[in-house]
Amino acid sequence: MASGKNKFLGIDEAGRGPVIGPMVICAVLVDEKQERKLKRIGVKDSKKISPKERERLAKEIKEIVEDFELVEISPQEIDGESLNRLEFIKIKEMYRKYKPTHLYIDVPTSPRGVKNFCRDLCYDIGDSALEIIGENRADEKYPVVSAASILAKVERDKIVENLKKKYGDFGSGYPSDHRTVNFLKVKLHKKKDLGKIVRKRWKTVSKIIPPVEQYRFPDRRR
- Predicted pLDDT at 4: 56
pLDDT, tens digit, 9 for 90 and up, residues 166-206 = 999 999 999 999 999 999 998 887 767 787 899 988 888 88
Structural domain span for residue 204: 167-214
Looking at residue 42, which CATH number applies to its domain?
A: 3.30.420.10
Q: How far apart (Å, rounded) are the C-alpha atoms in residues 134 and 117?
A: 8
- Predicted pLDDT at 204: 87
Q: Is the pLDDT of residue 218 over 50?
A: no
Strands 23-30 and 8-14: antiparallel
3-state DSSP assignment of residue 1: coil
The structure's pTM equals: 0.89
Q: Give yes or no: residues 138 and 176 share one domain.
A: no
Q: How far apart (Å, rounded) are the C-alpha atoms in residues 53 and 186?
A: 34
Residue at 220 is within a domain: no
Nearest to 216 by CA among 192, 182, 186: 192
**How large is the average pLDDT for residues 97-106?**
97
The CA-based dihedral angle spanning residues 146, 150, 151, 157, taken in that order and rounded to the nearest 10 degrees: 150
Nearest to 175 by CA among 206, 153, 150: 206
| Residue 210 confidence class, pLDDT cut points 50, 70, 90 | low
Q: Give yes or no: residues 30 and 128 share one domain.
A: yes
